[in-house]
Amino acid sequence: MRRKIPSTAALLAFERAARHESFTRAAEELALTQSAICRQIASLEDFLGLRLFRRTKRGVTLTEAGLSYSRQISARLDAMERDTLSVMAHHGRGATIELAVMPTFATRWLLPRLGEFLARHPDVTVNMNNRTRPFLFADTEFDAALYFGDAGWPGTEAHFLMRENATPVCSPRMLQGRTALAPEEIATFPLLQQSTRPYGWRDWFGSLGLQVAHDMTGTRYELFSMLAQAAMQDMGIALIPPFLIREELDSGRLVIPCNHVYLSAKAYYLIIPERKAETASLAAFRDWLVEAAAAYRIATGLE
C-alpha cells in the first residue's frame, strides 16, 4: 500500500516558507523562484485538503493548521537530516552512540574526561544532545542517557555513577567581608532554586535539623549553569555540587559560605535500554564510564 506522504520537495518548500512566513525568503534559501515555491505550497495544500497560509497584500501568515503542521514537519526533517549525516559520516568507519545528557554535567564532568575513552576507541563516535528529564527511548534516537534521579527506569539497565554533594555557594560580595555564614543566616538570604531539585534546600536544611518556612520559594532555574550565573550576579545563594562549578570556585567568582554538605539520596546513572545493553560500543562506553566515575568518587571522597 502506497504511503500517504507529500513530495519531499513540497515539504522542504513549506518548511522554509513557514519558518520565515515568506515565500520570497524560502525561494532565496532553496535557490528557486518564488513562483516555484508557490506551486509547491499549493500542491501541498491540495494534497492535505486545507490551507496552510493566509495570503494578503502584505504577504503570507500561517494558519493554525499550518503552524501545527510546520512544527511537526520541521522536527521530522531535522531527524531525517541527523540520520542522513550519521550514515554519511560513519558508514563503514565504526559505531555511533547517541547520548542524552544533562548539559552542565556533560560540560563540566564528562567532556573533560571523554578524550580518554575516544583515544581507547577511535572507531566510536559519541554524539550528545540535552535532555534534563526522563523520556521514552522508543520515541527517540538515543542509545543511552546520563540521568539524575532514581534507578527505576522501566526496560533499562541503570549503572550508578555518583551522588551529588549539594553545597551552598554565592558571590563573595554577598558575604560583605565575612568568610562564613551559619545555616540560620543562610536562611535569611534569597534561596535560588533548581527546578529539577525542588526539595534541594529543604533536604539541606533538614539534614541540619532546621525547618525553614520559605525553603522551596525563590527564583527557579532548570540548569545548574544558570543557577551558578544567578549566584555570581548576587541574586541569592545557590545549592550546587562543587564539581559542577570548579572553575568558578577556583577563580573566586563563587565561594562556599557554609561547609555543610548534603549528600543526595538520588544519583547520576548511565541508563541503557535492555535491548541495546550488549552492543559492543555501548558496553565499552559503559565499562569506561563506570570505571571513571568510581575513580572520581574515591579521589573526591564521594564514596
- pLDDT, tens digit (0-9, with 9 covering 90-100), for 40-53: 999 999 999 999 99
Lowest mean pLDDT among 52-66, 132-146, 165-179: 132-146
**pTM for this entry:** 0.69
Q: Is the pLDDT of residue 137 over 90?
A: no
Mean pLDDT of all residues belonging to the chain: 91
CB proximity list for 218: less than 8 A, separation 6 or greater: 190, 191, 192, 193, 236
CA 50, CA 70: separation in Å to the nearest integer? 13
DSSP-assigned letters across all residues of 51-76: --EEEETTEEEE-HHHHHHHHHHHHH
Q: Cβ(182)–Cβ(259) under 8 Å?
A: no
Q: What is the mean pLDDT of residues 172-188?
A: 94
DSSP-assigned letters across all residues of 198-238: TTHHHHHHHTTT---TTTT-S-EESSHHHHHHHHHTTS-BE
CA 268, CA 293: separation in Å to the nearest integer? 10
| pLDDT range class, residue 87, cuts 50, 70, 90 | low
Q: What percent of the chain has pLDDT over 70?
A: 96
Q: What is the CA radius of gyration of the chain?
A: 25
Q: Is the pLDDT of residue 200 over 60?
A: yes
Identify each DSSP E strand in 113-258 by its residue range.
124-130, 144-149, 156-169, 193-194, 220-221, 238-240
CA 21, CA 26: separation in Å to the nearest integer? 9
Lowest mean pLDDT among 63-67, 129-133, 264-268: 129-133
Q: Residue 303: what pLDDT?
A: 66
CA 278 to chain centre: 25
Q: Cβ(148)–Cβ(105) under 8 Å?
A: yes
Q: Residue 79: what pLDDT?
A: 81
DSSP 8-state symbol, 244: G
Q: What is the mean pLDDT of residues 118-143?
A: 87
- Amino acid (1-letter code) at residue 288: W
DSSP 8-state symbol, 303: -
Q: What percent of the chain has pLDDT over 90?
A: 77
Q: Residue 3: what pLDDT?
A: 80
Structural domains in the chain, CATH included, are 8-79 (1.10.10.10), 90-162+266-300 (3.40.190.10), 164-264 (3.40.190.10)
Q: What is the mean pLDDT of residues 208-215?
A: 94
Q: What is the mean pLDDT of residues 50-79?
A: 92
- Highest mean pLDDT among 70-74, 89-93, 237-241 belongs to 237-241
